[in-house]
Amino acid sequence: MTIVKDSFYINGEWVKASSAETLPVTSSGTGELYATIPVGTVDEANRAVEAAAAAFTSWTNTSPKERGEFLIRISEKLGEKADLIAETIANEVGMPLGLAKGIQAGIPTATFADNGQRAMEFDWEEEVGNSTLVREAAGVVAAITPWNYPLHQIANKVAAALAAGCTVVLKPSEVAPINAYILADIIHEVGLPKGVFNLITGTGPVVGEAIVAHPKTDFISFTGSTGAGKRVMEIASKMVKRVSLELGGKSANIILEDADLAKAIPDAIFKCYLNSGQTCSALTRLVVPRSKLGEVEDLAVASAAGFQPGDPITGGTLIGPLVSEAQQTRVRNYINKGIDEGARLIMGGVEQPEGLPRGHYVQPTIFSDVKNSMTIAQEEIFGPVLSIIPYDTEEEAIAIANDSLYGLSGGVWAGTQEKAFEVARKIRTGQVEINGGGFNIYAPFGGYKQSGIGRELGKYGFEEFLEVKAIQK
């Protein structure tokens, strides 16, 4: 049964869309219609901003304890709806249900709880010489989020903004928006004051640009493609608005000579293929010693064999479909580009996986003998495609890792933690994991270079939504 949404959440109420025009949301596993959502207009976007602006003074003067308690209650309700959220995002995005419950539902739940606690414990004032430094909310936040980790990215922005005392207008991705409606229902249920949180769906060029350009939005928090991020910055710059951008990545995973390949390569495959490679921080460039290229190839192919795609709802697999037909086509075009430019295809390809005639599936694919100048090594593919790049010296490996427009994440495997840490210090990215270190939702997430501006998650993500005022005495 198709889910039908026909309203926006504005000023604490569900407001029916003025236009009958809708956008389709397809099930990534079948390609069939999963839901429809309303198409917002500039006038409706403006109404949402006006509601957020009207609510700001009251909300920012609400005690941090009370704000934190609201966020804790939202977290608890998200936890109660974890199964529904996981199933929704498995349909929208294609992450297998088992992984979706822990990642797509679990991390946002923890993020709301963390920011609730942070609001209650944060030191809002500091004495520096004859000044009192006061931390205050940045104002009305326009939050624009992507489809690949939809509720996670929403939580990164909304939870931190609300904890800081900001009000929010959220424009979720039109590709994966139903999870945002679940959050809005929860926010309504816990009784968040009117106008503090507003949800409007639609397209980026209309709704997204309207909330960025509105004179009453003070801070823009955007996650998405680098091209769209540049457009957001361009619009915001006309009014000198603060902007936080979390954009693309092409992260390198360096395997040093003394690394334990039996551990490093299976981990590398997982870190590349998670969410069907639809992860901005995916470790998609595997940089390996030339002397061990053959051994790495064998281990990579053997490990990737465990990532055969399957139905995200019933398949019990580690990898599902891509989010849409457009994304499937995009990834297959990159695979063809790799072949055309001379990379050696050792696994996968452009054909539909066997036994999956429907759905937006792509075979897990591995290229070897990739040169870092090739398109597949420089551009973000956003699919299950790994590029193995050989090197001759440690210095060359570091240079390859840093030879990118991006600087979001990275990895280093070495025989010792000390050596891995030494090399990690030389990689110009916002995060680096060493010897398989896991993702930390309390550590700052964001990038160097064209991977963006600012940080999300934890203390640093919370502080993005604050201004600093010095009061001299």
Structure tokens at 138: 């940045």
The question of whether 166 is a catalytic residue gets the answer: no
Contact 408, 431 (CB under 8 A): yes
User: Rounded to 5 degrees, what are φ and ψ at 187?
Assistant: -60, -40
Q: How buried is residue 280: exposed, middle or buried, by Cβ count under 10 Å (0-12/13-18/19+)?
A: buried
First to last CA, the chain: 64
Contact 142, 220 (CB under 8 A): yes
Structure tokens at 65: 């304890």
The DSSP call for residue 100 is H
Structure tokens at 326: 């457009």
Would you give the distance in Å from CA 15 to the centre of its chain? 28
Residue corresponding to tokens 């990834």: 331
Cα–Cα distance, 327 to 361 (Å, whole number): 10
- Catalytically annotated residue among 50, 166, 174, 280: 280
CA dihedral 260, 264, 265, 269 (to 10 degrees): 170
The question of whether 246 is a catalytic residue gets the answer: yes
For residue 161, the surrounding DSSP H or E stretch is helix 150-164
Cα–Cα distance, 368 to 353 (Å, whole number): 21
Return the bridge partners of 390, or none.
288
Structure tokens at 253: 């995973």
- Catalytically annotated residue among 246, 433, 456, 463: 246
Which active-site residues does the annotation give?
A: 246, 280
